[in-house]
């Protein structure tokens, strides 16, 4: 019996029962090199977390406002039967999204972290979307929007980072580190969409 527990519905970072990621630690290291992700970025992310985590609700309000104002994005959180927003589903995802801010700024890039990134990716595809939350929603999020969402997730975070008691250069470093971390995760989330051998 696993000692793993989470108060957030569907949150499984650190759950030893998750299957291993098909992306190896060595491949992850090469991805980080390609993204120019350094120890300095890891440090800047920790500093970003000190600024962002206390503002989590306000950040989520901005992101949810963005999704809600774009019907083609809100579509992925609607009831399949009548195309109305599934508020319970949106609420459960919001709780995990809030935790994701903390996890992004505090990532240890361990095997547990890597396993959960793959799980997140799978949950965006027909293989598992809606299963975690037992939601009667549309059954797939198209990869193009997963990639495109990098821009609003990164551009809207900058004003929150600017509230730090930090120099403009430090804010720039935190924003650059955040952007690299988000791109890295979206790359990993894309794995389940791609045919074997092409990742």
Average pLDDT in the 143-158 region?
98
Q: What is the pLDDT of residues 85-134, one digit of tens each?
A: 999 999 999 999 999 999 999 999 999 999 999 999 999 999 999 999 99
Per-residue model confidence (pLDDT) at position 34: 98
Residues 6+ apart with CB under 8 A from 78: 84, 85, 86, 137, 138
Q: What is the pLDDT of residues 32-54, one digit of tens each?
A: 999 999 999 999 999 999 999 99
For residue 7, give both structure tokens: 């108060």
Instruction: State the DSSP string of 88-141.
Output: HHHHHHHHHHHHHHHHHHT----HHHHHHHHHHHHHTSTTTTTTTTT--B-S--
- The answer as to whether 132 is a domain residue is yes
Q: How many folded domains does the chain comprise?
A: 1
User: Above pLDDT 90, what percent of the chain?
Assistant: 96
- The answer as to whether 36 is a domain residue is yes
CATH of the domain at 184: 1.10.490.10
Angle subtended at Cα 83 by Cα 81 and Cα 86, rounded to the nearest 5 degrees: 90
- The answer as to whether 183 is a domain residue is yes
**Distance, CA of 145 to CA of 72 (rounded, Å):** 9
- The answer as to whether 143 is a domain residue is yes
Q: Which domain holds residue 104?
A: 30-193
- The answer as to whether 78 is a domain residue is yes
Average pLDDT in the 162-174 region?
96
Per-residue model confidence (pLDDT) at position 2: 44
For residue 40, give both structure tokens: 């300095």
**Distance, CA of 127 to CA of 123 (rounded, Å):** 7
Per-residue model confidence (pLDDT) at position 1: 31
Q: What is the pLDDT of residues 66-76, one digit of tens each?
A: 999 999 999 99
- The answer as to whether 199 is a domain residue is no
SS3 79: strand
- The answer as to whether 11 is a domain residue is no
* Contact by Cβ (8 Å): 60, 98: yes
């Amino acid at each position: 019996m696993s000692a793993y527990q989470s108060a957030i519905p569907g949150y499984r970072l650190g759950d030893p029962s998750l299957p291993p990621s098909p992306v190896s630690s060595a491949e992850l290291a090469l991805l980080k090199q390609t993204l120019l992700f350094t120890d300095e970025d890891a440090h800047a992310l920790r500093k970003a977390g000190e600024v962002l985590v206390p503002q989590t609700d306000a950040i989520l309000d901005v992101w949810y406002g963005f999704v809600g104002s774009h019907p083609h994005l809100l579509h992925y959180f609607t009831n399949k039967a009548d195309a109305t927003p599934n508020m319970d589903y949106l609420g459960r995802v919001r709780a995990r999204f809030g935790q994701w801010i903390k996890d992004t700024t505090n990532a240890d890039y361990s095997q547990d972290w890597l396993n959960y990134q793959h799980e997140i990716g799978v949950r965006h595809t027909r293989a598992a979307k809606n299963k975690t939350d037992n939601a009667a929603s549309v059954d797939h999020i198209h990869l193009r929007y997963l990639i495109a969402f990098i821009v609003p997730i990164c551009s809207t975070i900058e004003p929150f980072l600017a509230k730090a008691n930090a120099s403009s250069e430090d804010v720039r470093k935190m924003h650059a580190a955040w952007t690299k971390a988000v791109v890295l995760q979206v790359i990993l989330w894309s794995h389940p969409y791609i045919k074997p051998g092409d990742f």
